Amino acid sequence: MSAVRNVAFVEGVRTPFGKAGDKGIYANTRADDLVVKVIRELLRRHPGLPPERIDEVAVAATTQTGDQGLTIGRTAALLSGLPKSVPGFAIDRMCAGAMTAVTTTASGIGFGAYDIVVAGGVEHMGRHPMGEGVDPNPRIIADKLVDPTALVMGQTAENVHDRYPEITKQRTDAYAARSQERYADAVKAGKIGPELVPVAIRHPELGWGLATEDEPPRPGTTVEQLAGLKTPFRPHGRVTAGNAAGLNDGATGAILAEEGVARELGLPVGMRLVGYAFAGVEPEVMGIGPVPATEKALRRAGLSISDIGLFEINEAFAVQVLAFLDHFGIAEDDPRVNPWGGAIACGHPLASSGVRLMTQLSRQFAERPDVRYGITTMCIGIGMGGTVIWENPAWEGDK
């Protein structure tokens, strides 16, 4: 039997994220074309990578229909100009689609089935709202397999508030305002921007344009402004459009490679995979999923939470981030947590977000040789969590 091989995260890129709907920047752009832009940009940035060396293209989408259907990993590979010998597939784990595309293909690299892959995700929530065309089996509710609120993500966030009453609306609003501020500061400092792929966009009246920055952020957001927003999921509730990620469009992608092959081809090694884990929780409180997933991943890697120097936590809802931080005894303003802001600011196009987290962590590692380990973690609809542990190849602790 062959030994497990080291898996390198070479680089990740993404399109700017847009607001879903008729007025969003991608209202007249196809989902598969967003993926094509990402794949082509990865190849453009790494001309030393022969396209025929790519062994697989894995692309996630939560709603696999229309221009997000037809085995989008394969069709996007063909549309990107990759050789027809390069296979591809589609994958779905709701919000953790791209994360699962990475962990699945990375496992193939570790086992020896692949040397180099492209993995990512796309979600065009304007064209394909979450749940479009879905027909849940009536037994899910009739047999009381889950609470009826489990199928509405905003209601599951309210349920997390119920379970952890110490996480007040005031705390979630404060966290959300801080996410907006950190994101705005990161843009001004040039931290966010280099990973973005410009996308040509078309407006039926204004003509052609170019998307070069995220559309959702609301710089200057204050706690006072957030306090007055409506609570759509429950009268007098705590979840609002301000302390949750919006409905968004966008695509992400990354190159992963066996570390030796990456170095052979002159590809950078942004991160090294340490381990990962997915865990199930009660679907009606899906936001707590990152807690058991992280505990499981740390246990398998022989690490503890104190070993983690950087955290990229997907901000589907502020309450689920705070539930994670409270569980592990981490301050909600800890500078190690989402230092460049998160999805509350930049958006969360469901299946694409996992690679956004990884891309940011990789770029943070390059600036932080004092940090050895970081994690990317997220809650997942229908009651799951996923966590991936990464090692910083620039770590100087052993020198």
Catalytic residues, which ones? 95, 348, 379
SS3 97: helix
Strands 271-280 and 384-391: antiparallel
Residue listed under structure tokens 């973690």: 377
Q: Is 113 helix (H, G, I), strand (E, B) or coil?
A: coil
The CA distance from 196 to 209, in Å, is: 16
Tell me how far apart the alpha carbons of residues 97 and 154 are, in angstroms, rounded to a whole number: 19
201 near 209, Cβ under 8 Å? yes
Q: Choose among 55, 42, 40: nearest CA to 10.
A: 42
Distance separating alpha carbons of residues 257 and 382, to the nearest angstrom: 31
Closest CA to 18 of 254, 244, 317, 352: 352
Burial 269-278 (b: 16+ CB within 10 A, else e): bbbbbbbbbb
Task: Provide the angle, in degrees to the nearest 10, between the axes of the packed helices 318-328 and 153-163.
Answer: 40
Q: How far apart are CA 2 and CA 363, in angstroms?
A: 31
Pairing of strands 207-211, 199-203: antiparallel
- SS3 category, 388: strand
Residue 234, phi then psi, degrees to nearest 5: -165, 135
- Would you tell me how many other CB atoms lie within 10 Å of the CB of residue 204? 7
What DSSP string runs through 362-378? HHHHHH-TT--EEEEEE
Structure tokens at 79: 């549309």
CB 46 within 8 A of CB 133: no
At residue 341's C-alpha, the angle toward residues 336 and 346, to 5°, is: 155
